[in-house]
Amino acid sequence: MILSGVEIREAVAGDEQVLARLDRETWSPSHAVMPRPEPGQAFFDERHVPAHYLVAETEDLGVVGYVRVGSSTPLACNAHVRQIQGLAVDPAARGRGVARALMRAAGERARGEGATRLTLRVLGHNAPARALYASEGFAVEGVLPGEFLLDGEYVDDVLMGRAL
């Protein structure tokens, strides 16, 4: 069920603190290969600008999630592909359709930019995320076995994609 009253909008510079907090609070080795974000660490920078993010916001909870959508490479021959490069949902809003709404908005945005494919990468052990992506039409297109060493275990990097 889609969370009633959820609005998906483009991020603005004023969202930085709440998105940084959300990033710290949702960080987990089940989905992150980067170190846990530190308090005070910038969320936006020259590679991660507000225009790359869509945020989910509710009237009662405020900003409850984000998805980052970008080009998978800077190559002209790859300009028809967009990649989901981050997705987070506040634990208080999980299980209510926020991630699904963000995924669908990412697809709409990519299509609106002329993309014909949307891709993402997910850790092999992140079964809930993989199930969500599969239910939204993403298929496994490749697996890099043991690509990451996280908490002392080798974890697969699963490449998924779908046509738009």
Q: How does pLDDT run across 131-154, given as a tens digit for each residue?
A: 999 999 999 999 999 999 999 999
pLDDT (tens digit per residue) in 117-127: 999 999 999 99
pLDDT classification of 109: cutoffs 50, 70, 90? very high
In the block, tokens 């850790």 appear at: 123
Structure tokens at 61: 């909870």
CB burial string 143-154: b at 16+ within 10 A, e below = eeeebeeeeeee
pLDDT classification of 59: cutoffs 50, 70, 90? confident
Q: What is the pLDDT of residue 25?
A: 94
pLDDT at 60 over 90: no
β-strand partners of 69:
84
pTM as predicted:
0.92
pLDDT at 51 over 50: yes
Specify the pairing of strand 81-89 against strand 117-123.
parallel
Beta strand spans in 45-100 (E)? 53-58, 62-71, 81-89
Q: Name which residue leads in pLDDT, 6 or 117.
A: 117
Structure tokens at 117: 């494919």
Q: What is the pLDDT of residue 4?
A: 62
Is residue 161 helix, strand or coil?
A: strand
Cβ 44 vs Cβ 31: under 8 Å? no
Surface-to-core class of residue 7, CB atoms within 10 Å of its CB (0-12 exposed, 13-18 middle, 19+ buried):
exposed
pLDDT classification of 1: cutoffs 50, 70, 90? very low
* 54/68 Cα distance (integer angstroms): 6
Mean pLDDT score across all residues of the chain: 94
Q: What is the pLDDT of residue 31?
A: 86
Other CB atoms closer than 10 Å to residue 123's CB: what's the count? 21
pLDDT at 2 over 60: no
